[in-house]
Structure 1
Amino acid sequence: MKKKVISLLLVAAMAVSMAACGNTSTDKGSDNGGTAASAGAEASTDGDFLIGYPTAASYNAVMNAMHLNRQTIAQAAGGDLVTEIFEFDDATTIDAVEKLITDGCKGIFVTPTSNDVLYNVTDMCDEAGVYFIISMRSITDEEVKSYVENSKYYLGCVYEDEYQAGYMLGKALADSGAKDYCLITTASDNTTGQTREQGLADAAEEFGLTCLDTYRNPADASEAVSAVESWIAKYGSDMQGIVRLGTQATGDQSAIAAKLEEYSDKDIKFVTIDTDENCISYIKDGTITATLGDLLIQDSIAAATVLTDAVTGKPISDDPVELALKYSVITDADELQAYFDYMAVEEPIYNKDEVKANLLGLDVAGLEDLCNNMTALSVKELHESR
């Protein structure tokens, strides 16, 4: 009954979504990669099979690298990759998956915006005989998990240990000497944010931290900056730190850091789960106290490998896999610089021959170890050894 109710609600929402998003298109990646998932990219139809994923309308360096690695893995196995733009809500997630199935994809990446959206994804993939893997998320609702795992087309999930992320940021704040902090985080129903917040709450209890205030789901960078300004005015020196557990606002982490530079005399510690290239200088001058190593490229590699193996008839496991990737704390600007020099670049980690030799056909433990041990320096060594 729950599944049917959700389906009816989402059908109505999808009708509104499709009417409002007439410019949504499916773009097929070219061999050269680049910003191939952005609107207007040249189509490629050389592959024997297609895999697809819902994506944002525009890319930063990390997202572009994720696309290149997914694409290269598919192409190494004789396939190709397509994308479909969605707006990071349940209705457009369903719409994008449906469109990718219609376009002939044999496997699909899914980054669910809620647990409940997976009922519909599962039904559509079962009916079409299309494999799907969850990327950058895990299923946190046991009822939903049981339903999804009954599908023979569900391959499992690749996700970052989000509890660990929240805990590590809390510990990093405590290590900096700050105790009382304000929190910028996701909407309250965001499952990733919920898990991060639990990790932070446990760290706060362990290390004696106190959350003074919370701002959820800023619409853009300016809204996040306004929240910081209001906290400085309200709490003064009582606010010793800011914890950013993630948002959908582009560039808000560096915008917050830029604002905090104006208040450098207050010595507010800032720890954030996400960074961009602009954040390198802010770590160097101490405006950003700590961040976490980005795992999204490793996630895309692991998920693409599992999906491609299944589509080509060589599944990595008979049962759904769960690959949990582990974060590391970054406090050194050189380490973050290396990430943007060697990983978040317009070149895949592995070329097609290396994909065949190192990725396709790996067992679960081998794939998890490969991705967890991948660093900017190891990628540098790989590329220099060619």
Structure 2
Amino acid sequence: MKKSLRTIALILALILMMSVLVTGCQPTNTTAPTTAPTGEVKTKLPAGTKIGMTILVNDGLFATMAQYIQYIADNIGFELVLDVGAFSPEDQVASVENLIAAGCQGIVFCNFSEAVLPKIATVCDEAEVYWAQYCRQVDNQEIVASLNNSKYYVGRCYENNANVAVRVVKAFEELNVKKTAIIGPATGDTTTDTVSAKFKSLCQEKGIEVYTEIRNAQEAADCTAAAETIVSNFPDVEGIIVLSGSTGKLEGVFKGLENVGKLGKIKVGALDASVNIVEDLKKGSIVCANSGQFVDNMFTTMLVLNAVLGTPLKTDGKATIECEYVAFYKAADAEFYFANMENLKDKVFAYNIDEVRKMVKYFNPAFTYDDLQAIATAYSTEDVKTRHNIT
């Protein structure tokens, strides 16, 4: 009997030894677990994760973007560093260098000119810092090639800018607007250049005349002067498209039209929305605004954040995420949007914290680049109503 017990003990010891050896030979799992060692679900990123963001001004659309990303950072656990006010290419390079010097591991960047992008790529490659563009597509194929060759360039998010022109022309047609003009910032910016080109093409196709295009309206005062000049030179103008209405530029156009007694009489369509868009739609100051692009910045942040954490969403090339604007034709459109999609006061957004957390592979290892693209493609008021059960 004792011999049998010793034999059984020896067999069990051998089995245990083999189990240890086999376990020790298994490959290490490098995918971040979704639960902590205690079994609790993880809700915070690793300590020390730091993301930088360049924003052009600290108000309007850019302020909304910054506040939304700060809200996300506070809730999922990373540090956000802002660099504000870089407009010229030289200042934008310095802005990125400032964020690198501050210890940022990834940078979310918005350029004014495509020409600056190769320099940004060089700076980030040398510093081994991941970066991506928000609200910007790249048209110059030589620059695209240089970005594709940049190790630390993650990709870009941008809107379907041509559809801005489609919506504005549709609104003008419904109001029988046949004589129009264009106000926008200097040429060389892909976003506004795309809207302008599509608008002119559609107008030619539909028999709508474009009297003039003023492309030096960088500030609100420039837009005021441009609107006054258009009315002075073309008294019978019926509609104006504003290629960039952010940072007070759309309000500048309204002021110019008011100064010459044409506010509400000349129909205005725009990329971006005014600060008081609900009232402006009610008064008829504008007939079509295209907004909602603050989520673009979030999608870009998710691309950079996943790369910084060692789990890039796109591993076979650079990311190109396209999303749509949200169009406001009437006050009710804007009221719904600011109550349910961009509500800073009550912290109600198109994507809540639980939804954002699922876009990070650290929390959700199954998440993919295709998943992010599908989310961006679906972005709309109807999508928000469905996801958040709003009737």
Taking the TM superposition and a 5 Å limit, the aligned residue runs for 1:310-321 are: 310-318=307-315, 319-321=317-319
Q: Determine whether 1:252 maps to 2:257.
A: no
Q: CA deviation at 1:166?
A: 2.6
Q: CA deviation at 1:215?
A: 1.8
1:133 and 1:156 in contact (8 A); partners too: yes
Q: Determine whether 1:53 maps to 2:53.
A: yes
Taking the TM superposition and a 5 Å limit, the aligned residue runs for 1:282-361 are: 282-292=280-290, 294-318=291-315, 319-346=317-344, 347=347, 349=349, 350-357=351-358, 360=361, 361=364
171-180 vs 339-348, which deviates more?
A: 339-348
* Matched residue, 2:115: 116
Q: CA deviation at 1:109?
A: 0.9
Aligned amino acid, residue 217 of structure 2? P
Q: Determine whether 1:70 maps to 2:75.
A: no
Aligned amino acid, residue 357 of structure 2? K
Taking the TM superposition and a 5 Å limit, the aligned residue runs for 1:33-44 are: none
1:161 and 1:324 in contact (8 A); partners too: yes
* Matched residue, 2:233: 234
Taking the TM superposition and a 5 Å limit, the aligned residue runs for 1:1-386 are: 47-60=47-60, 62-75=61-74, 77-237=76-236, 239-246=237-244, 250-257=247-254, 260=257, 263=261, 267-292=265-290, 294-318=291-315, 319-346=317-344, 347=347, 349=349, 350-357=351-358, 360=361, 361=364, 362-375=367-380, 379=384
Aligned amino acid, residue 307 of structure 1? V
Q: CA deviation at 1:287?
A: 2.6
314-323 vs 350-359, which deviates more?
A: 350-359
Distance 2:263 2:250 in 1: 20
348-357 vs 315-324, which deviates more?
A: 348-357
With over 3 angstroms needed to count, the CA separation of the structure-2 counterparts of 1:348 and 1:309, relative to structure 1, is farther
Distance 1:284 1:266 in 2: 10
Distance 1:119 1:300 in 2: 21
With over 3 angstroms needed to count, the CA separation of the structure-2 counterparts of 1:359 and 1:199, relative to structure 1, is farther
94-103 vs 355-364, which deviates more?
A: 355-364
Distance 1:89 1:348 in 2: 34
Aligned amino acid, residue 178 of structure 1? V
Q: TM-score, normalised by structure 1?
A: 0.79
Distance 2:107 2:340 in 1: 27
1:73 and 1:305 in contact (8 A); partners too: no
Deviations 1:166-185 (A, max 9, x none): 33323332332111111101
Aligned amino acid, residue 335 of structure 1? D
Identity %: 25
Distance 1:49 1:325 in 2: 27
Q: CA deviation at 1:351?
A: 5.0
Larger gyration radius, structure 1 or structure 2: 2
2:278 and 2:335 in contact (8 A); partners too: yes
1:182 and 1:242 in contact (8 A); partners too: yes
Q: CA deviation at 1:259?
A: 5.0
Aligned amino acid, residue 306 of structure 1? L
204-213 vs 360-369, which deviates more?
A: 360-369
Q: Give secondary structure in 2 for the equivalent of 1:116.
A: helix
Distance 2:276 2:255 in 1: 10
Q: CA deviation at 1:297?
A: 1.8
**Alignment length (residue pairs):** 336
1:72 and 1:351 in contact (8 A); partners too: no
Q: CA deviation at 1:353?
A: 4.1
Aligned amino acid, residue 65 of structure 1? T
Deviations 1:176-223 (A, max 9, x none): 211111110120222222111111122112211221122223243233
Distance 1:351 1:80 in 2: 19
Distance 1:382 1:64 in 2: 26
Q: Give secondary structure in 2 for the equivalent of 1:124.
A: helix
Question: RMSD of the alignment, in Å?
Answer: 2.6
Aligned amino acid, residue 169 of structure 1? V
338-347 vs 92-101, which deviates more?
A: 338-347
Distance 2:256 2:143 in 1: 42
Q: TM-score, normalised by structure 2?
A: 0.78
218-227 vs 282-291, which deviates more?
A: 218-227
Deviations 1:109-136 (A, max 9, x none): 1112211211111111111111111111
Q: Give secondary structure in 1 for the equivalent of 2:373.
A: helix
Q: Give secondary structure in 2 for the equivalent of 1:271.
A: strand
In the alignment, structure 2 segments of 5+ residues that lack a partner are 1-45
Distance 1:205 1:256 in 2: 24
Distance 1:303 1:348 in 2: 20
Deviations 1:341-368 (A, max 9, x none): 2333322635544432355553223222
With over 3 angstroms needed to count, the CA separation of the structure-2 counterparts of 1:231 and 1:80, relative to structure 1, is same
2:220 and 2:248 in contact (8 A); partners too: yes
Q: Give secondary structure in 2 for the equivalent of 1:112.
A: coil
